[in-house]
Every structure is written in C-alpha cells, then in structure tokens.
Structure 1
Amino acid sequence: MQLTSLLRRLVLNNGAKMPRIGVGTYLLLGDQCQEVIERAIAIGYRHIDTAWSYENEKAIGSTIHDIEHRGNIGRKQLYITSKLGRTFFHPRDVKYAVEESLDNLQTTYLDMYLIHSPWGMKNHGDGNRKPLKEDGTYDCEAYDLNATWRAMEEAVKDGHVKSIGLSNFTTKQIQMIVDNGKIVPQNVQFECHAYYQQNSLRKFCSDYNIVCTAYSPLGAPGIPDSHQAKSHNKDLQLLEDDIVITIATKYNRSPAQILLRFLLEKNLAVIPKTSSLQRLEENICVFDFELEKEDVTLLESLDRGLRFFMFEHYKDHPYFPNKNEFF
C-alpha cells in the first residue's frame, strides 16, 4: 500500500467517515481518563471509543465539554463511539440507553453506536452493569437480537445516532442481522492483532462493505486476569515478539507503531488503549511510513489464532460462540 493512499479516515457503507485511529478507553476512569482524553485531542486524535459498561462516559463527556467551551475543538470535529449496555438489549430499553449515554457524554448524537456483544444480561432495574445470580455468576439473558437491532435502527431514524454496528459478534450472528435488518451494520468491532488476525471475519465484513475496528491491536498487554483463559501464558507478549522487535528496529519505530501500521494497511480502524501520555503520542504517529512487503509477510506469519479476551464469564450464555466460530 502506498503511503499517500492510506488516508486518515475510512468511509462507511452509509457514506460517513470514521477516523482510522482512535483512543480506546476501557479501564480508564476518573482523572486518569480525563487526562488521557484531554491530551489525545490536543495531539490530534479525533475518535474516542467508549461504552456504557466502561463507566467512564461522564468523565469523557466532561472533558470534551471543557475542550469545546474553550473553543479548541468543536463537536463536529470529533467522532464518538459508544456501546449498548448488555442489560439494555430489550427493545424497550434501547432508547433509554441511548439517551443515558448522550447525557453522560454531553452530546446530542453519537457517531457510532454498537451492540456491545450478543450476550445480554438481565435488567434488574437497579442500574447494575453486571447483575449476578445467587451463586455469583452473571445473570445472563438471551434477547431477540433482531429486535434489539430494529431499536438501534430507530435511534438512527430519530437522529440520536449517525451509524450503528456490532461488537464481538460471530459471522453467523452478523449474517442474521444483515438478513433481517433494514440497515446493514456500518461497523463491526472485535479483538484483532498480529497474533489473532481474523482473516475470515474480515473477509466476511468486506463482502458487505462493513468497516472493521480492531480492539486490543497491541495484544492486550494490560488485560485483567478475569478475561484471560486460565491456561494463558502471561509471558507471551506481542509487543515483545522477536519478529516485531526486529522490524521495529529496522524502521526505527516502536513495536506498537509497527503493529498498528500493520493493521492500518489491512484497512482496519484501530483503537489502542494506553494510560501513558508518551505512548498515546507514539501510537498516532503511524501515517508517515509504510511497511515493505517482506515485513508484512513476516507479521502475517505471526498469526496463531491467539485470543486474549476469552469472555469465559459468558460461556454459559446460549449465544456464546464455540471455539470454531469465535468470532
């Protein structure tokens, strides 16, 4: 891919444009979240990725409001993605969920709104983001996802949401939404990195002109233990892979920059998460070089089907994928 052809935005199937690189905010809370968002926007990030379940929409909204108030950046210059909480999958709850996120983020619309996963949870009416059963396991619920999607389409019709999509869905589940909905998903978000390249899923989305977003594009170095498989080797770190380090040395770049550039050249959007202001700036400096074909081939050879996010606390959900279809 020629350097000049890698534009900073991807065109969605509804004509809207999504910045190729965004700020992932999972696990960023309070003052730390505000500091990261403030710095990110100052150095050129325009895409902010959050979710109701992250519990940081208010911190992000407050920061963006302050930035707008100072006249530095206007709302139309930003691209905000949020996600439908798993307890709000019933169609009657989607409108409320959208309005709550809009209120938290202090905005009148979301650029992108995703169903966070196919694995819904019972709504106990108490605002609990992770309701539990008496035995301490998640209180899951199998909602009609086609009905949830129709309610998402209504949010677009009402003007509260510009584009809608899915997160952590299998190809079979995406196909179901495509076959039954009026709007083809504009975006599908999933774990994707050099160790887990998701070739089949990316090809499937490409066939429907669905833009893909890679979360954990650096291999999830800060992933909580609760999300990992018990058998996972914690010493296996993508950022420390010998091939990645060798290529980074060749280009005088960081391993993170090589891994991000690799996915960008695969036509994905990426949302790396970091609490380091130095790495935040480093991660966005990926548009002024390109990888040679031989290095792309080396990075492609790293694919080992390794997921870091196992979501084992949802494993008993009827919509949870088997090992052959994840995602």
Structure 2
Amino acid sequence: MAESVPTLTLNNGYQMPQLGLGTWRAKPNEVGAAVKQAIDLGYRHIDTAWVYGNEREIGDALKDVLSDGKVKREELYIVTKLWATFMAPECVRSGFMESLNNLQLDYVDLYLIHMPQALKSGASKSEVMKNDKGEELSDDVDYVDTWQEVEKLVDDGLAKSIGVSNFNHKQIDRILRIAKHRPVTNQIEVHPYLTRTKLLEWCQSYEIIVTAYSPLCCRGRPWAKAVEPDITRDPLLLSIAERHGKTCAQVALRFAIQRGCSVITKSVHRDRLQENIDVFDFKLTTTELISIEALNRNWMIGGERIWARRQNHPHYPFHEEF
C-alpha cells in the first residue's frame, strides 16, 4: 500500500511532496527501474538534472507509468536543473528544452539553476572548457541575468515553479530584488553533520523552502575516506533510532522533515526505497532535534571533490557564512 507523503505549500501556491527520489549518481539501466519502483511505493516527487545524464532514462520510465495509468501526470512532481554551461541568457531555453525533451513531458513542476557559477562550454555543452592546468574555466555570466530568462519558462507554461540550488543568502537576495517570479526553493546539502541552520532560517523567513539533498551523507560515495563520519554508525542517531524502532537513516530523514525541509534521497534498491519513505509514522522530540543539530561539524561531502576546484569563481557560494 502506497504511503501518503505530505506536501509543503510553496510561495506561489503550488504543492511540493515533502519527500522525493533523488537520482544523482544513479547508474544507467538502474535509474529507470528505481523510478518505477519508487512511484509504486508512493513517491511522487522525482528529482534529476541535465548534468546527471539520466533524464532520458527517467523520461522513458515516466512514459511507461503514465501510459499504464498507474498515476496521472498532475500527481507527479518532476524536478530538473539548468546546468552551468547553459547559463548564458541566450542558452537558457535550449538547455531547458533538452531536459524537457529528455523527460518527454509538456512541462516540469520545478526548474532550478543548478549552481550560481557559470562555466564555459567547449564544442558541446556537455564539455566544460579547462585551462592547461586542467582547471575549469568560468563564464562571465551573472546568475541574475540567467534568472530573468528562467522566469520566461514560467510565463510560457513550461515550468510551474522555479528555484535555485547551492546559492547562499546574498545571492538569493540579489534575485529577490529583481524577481518577477520568486524562487520557491533553494536545494542544498543538508544532513546532521551539515545543518545549515542560518541559511535554513533565512530562507524560511522569505518563504523559500529548503530542499535537502544528500540527507544521508551520500552513502556509498566512491570517494569516501575511512576518517569521515558514517551516519549509519553515529552513536546518538543509533540511540534515537532504537528508541523509535527505526534506523539511523530514517532518523536523519525525519530530522530534515521536522525542520521544514523537503528531502530528496537516492536509492535504487526497493528495500531502501521503502525504508526511506517510512518516516511519517513517528516524531522526534524537541530534545532529540536539538541533540541532532548539535552534531553539526560543517562537513560537506562534496567539499574537496566537487566545490574546491571552483572556489576562485566570482560567484562561488561558500565564501559567505551562509
């Protein structure tokens, strides 16, 4: 029997299911089956991105479940993202249309600017230009100009809502100052070891939902080091999980949910998909929430691997405190 996932009301009145399926790093020939299983288990929120390279397979899966009549299109909440090589205003629509065609849909429910930093593209948009040291080359594009082009997708009925990902509060504030359509969400890494409390509270004060990605610290990431924290073995989370008859993963997901976040969590295994959605039948106490928040160590799973190489970019988001 499908779980009933609650929804959050966005600042434009649309509803977003609070729990969704993340698909970053889902392997080819696995992600489509995972989408179908997730929908069968009650997931309605599916998150992808152009740069993940899996939109086409997800689109095939969506086409199958819609043609089978298992769900209606309006019951699904589909999210994808504008990659950094499409951020020049004249490239925004072509980048979006690639995603829409891959997904085989007439519209998406939410379209995000994947990060504030634009990157130069080579012969194809999938190729990021690099210098002779192998460093990525930035592009001289202001994300505010990108935002104004993304807004046109809402005007044309191609995206119900728009938002950002990996932006700091000052960057969002610049968008708010010129926005015709306000960002409805900021999708950022959030988990017990990276609580992002100040940014979360700032976004909430402007009615912007924080969507938490990697809420389980991206379990199984190939670049994990032995010295890094393991959310499944944390003593505090283990004790709280035992008290509620749940797992550490479920406690971590519940932590994000009770803080008012929407949450996307990735798995391609049916038992894990079921485990991740079974988080709406218990509540953490105030004391437990406070104790989990105290686990924060400002540890970003992609800090060295993903973000460090972009820290000289003029729109690098992590020089600010939040």
1:123-142 alignment runs, 5 A limit: 123-142=121-140
Identity level (%): 37
Measured in 1, the distance between the counterparts of 2:158 and 2:210 equals 22
The structure 2 residue matched to 1:280, chosen from 258, 273, 276, is: 273
Q: SS at the partner of 1:137?
A: coil
Q: Which runs of 4+ in 1 moved over 3 A?
A: 232-235, 321-324
Does structure 1 conserve the Cα–Cα contact (< 8 Å) formed by 2:86 and 2:125? Answer: no
In 2, Cα distance between the equivalents of 1:63 and 1:7?
21
Structure 1 CA distance, aligned partners of 2:226 and 2:144? 38
Match in the other structure for 1:291: 284
State the 1:125 CA deviation: 4.1
* Corresponding position of 1:54: 52
- Which residue in 1 is equivalent to 2:301? 308
Normalising by the residue count of structure 2, what TM-score does the alignment of the two structures yield? Answer: 0.94
CA contact (8 A) 1:118 1:145 kept: yes
1:165 aligns with 163
CA contact (8 A) 1:142 1:317 kept: no
Residue number in structure 2 paired with 1:246: 239
CA deviation map 1:221-250 (0-9, x unaligned): 23343xx8xxx7644112211000111111
Whole-angstrom distance in 2 between the partners of 1:123 and 1:159: 28
Partner of 2:149: 151
Instruction: Give the equivalent residue in structure 2 for 1:76.
Output: 74
User: Letter of the aligned partner of 2:32 in structure 1?
Assistant: Q
Name the SS of the counterpart of 2:254 in structure 1: helix
Structure 1 unaligned residues grouped into runs of 5+: 1-5
Amino acid of the structure 2 residue aligned with 1:242: P
SS of the aligned residue for 1:142 comes to coil
1:275, distance to aligned residue in structure 2 (A) = 2.6
C-alpha deviation, 1:192, in angstroms? 0.4
RMSD in angstroms over aligned alpha carbons? 1.7
Q: Secondary structure at the match of 1:312?
A: helix
Query: Per-residue CA shift, 1:49-78, capped at 9, x if unaligned?
Result: 000000000000000101111111121110
Of 243, 259, 263, which residue of structure 2 is paired with 1:266?
A: 259
CA distance in 2 between partners of 1:18 and 1:211 (Å): 10
How far apart are residue 180 of structure 1 and its match?
Answer: 1.9
Aligned to 2:316: 320
Equivalent residues of 1:108, 1:160 under 8 A apart: yes
Q: Which runs of 5+ in 2 are unaligned?
A: none
Q: Is the 8 A contact 1:248 1:255 kept in 2?
A: yes
Contact 1:190/1:213 (8 A) holds in 2 = yes
CA displacement at 1:252 relative to structure 2: 0.9
> What is the distance in 1 between the residues matched to 2:193 and 2:122?
38
The corresponding residue for 1:41 is 39
